[in-house]
Structure 1
């Protein structure tokens, strides 16, 4: 039943993306001293969600505003940083920033899911 509601679908996808990115960041940190290891990252949630088969996100009104240039959503993370003398491209500072973004994404998915459940409970006349 809940998989047909777009908000619930998006919250689940955001949680799955945060989980996948957490694994990649943890692997990067674990290999910070491995010679020749190249740091990896996953595509942004917005890009992966748009390309998914269930992404039917579209504007419902031509008067809706586009994402402004200054929005954090338009910010792009650098793909690859400098390489150390042993060929390793992991920068622990960048990985810690990515870990904080992962936590924020996970918390956001839980917040959306919780709010959607509260909304559904209210709509059927039950209180949390």
Structure 2
């Protein structure tokens, strides 16, 4: 029922994006000493959301409709990109400081998604007279 409301779909998408980004950051940290390893990241949620949203065209109304998930978003994982930056003499481009900053951003995005979801649920409860 709530999956058809756009704000719930958007907050769920942001939470999934933050989780995927945390996973990518964890892989970077795990490979911080691997020679030749290139640091990776996930495209921003705003870019992913804008490219996956279906504004004005046909819209999927249920899962697997038109090969997408409900709401017109693609079912594929966010695109992994190579993060640009300085490399060490062994060719590794992972900077633990950058990874810490990226992890903090991902945590902030996840907290934002949960706050939006909780606030939306409180508004829904208030609108039907339950608090």
Normalization by structure 2: what TM-score? 0.77
Of 91, 97, 102, which residue of structure 2 is paired with 1:93?
97
Query: How far apart are the structure 2 equivalents of 1:22 and 1:11?
Result: 17
Q: Conserved in 1, the CA contact under 8 Å of 2:38 and 2:83?
A: no
Q: Match for residue 83 of structure 1?
A: 87
Shift of 1:8: 0.3
Shift of 1:90: 0.2
Relative contact order: is structure 1 or structure 2 higher (C-alpha 8 Å, sep ≥ 6)?
Answer: 1
Query: How far apart are the structure 2 equivalents of 1:120 and 1:51?
Result: 29
Higher strand share: 2
- Unpaired runs of 5+ in structure 1? 58-77
Q: Conserved in 2, the CA contact under 8 Å of 1:49 and 1:55?
A: no
Q: How does 1:12-91 map to 2 (within 5 A)?
A: 12-52=12-52, 54-56=53-55, 79-91=83-95
Q: CA RMSD in A?
A: 1.6
Shift of 1:82: 0.5
Q: Conserved in 2, the CA contact under 8 Å of 1:37 and 1:90?
A: yes
- 2:128 is equivalent to residue 124 of structure 1: yes
Normalization by structure 1: what TM-score? 0.79
